[in-house]
Amino acid sequence: MAQVVKGSSLVRARDYLKSPQVGCTGPDAGAIAFDASGFTPANAPRATAQAVLGLTGATLVTLRGGGPDGAPALNC
C-alpha cells in the first residue's frame, strides 16, 4: 500500500526529489540523477521515470498518458 504524503512532508519530499535534478542547460535539462554521485545518462531515464510519481502526486493507478506532446518548459 502506498503512503499518502501531505502538507509540509509533501513539500520536503518534492524538494528532495528535485535536488538531483539537472539544471536548465544542455540536452539533459530537467532529468533526475539516480543518486548524489551525479548525473549519468545510463540510469537517468529510470531515475526520472521513478521521480515523476513523487513530483506529480500521481500513483500508478492514477497516472495517465495522453497529455500534450513534448516536455513542459522548465522554470529557470
Q: Rounded CA gap, 10 and 54, in Å?
A: 9
Q: Dihedral angle at the C-alpha atoms of 52, 57, 59, 47, nearest 10 degrees?
A: 20
Rounded to the nearest 10 degrees, the angle between the axes of helix 7-18 and helix 44-56 is 160
Q: State the average pLDDT for the chain.
A: 80
Residue length of the chain: 76
pLDDT of residue 72: 67
pLDDT at 63 over 80: no
Which of 26 and 34 is assigned the larger pLDDT?
34
Element containing residue 55 per DSSP (H, E): helix 44-56
Mean pLDDT on 19-47: 87
Residue 4 confidence (pLDDT): 64
Instruction: Find the mean pLDDT for residues 37-63.
Output: 84
Higher pLDDT, 2 or 4: 4
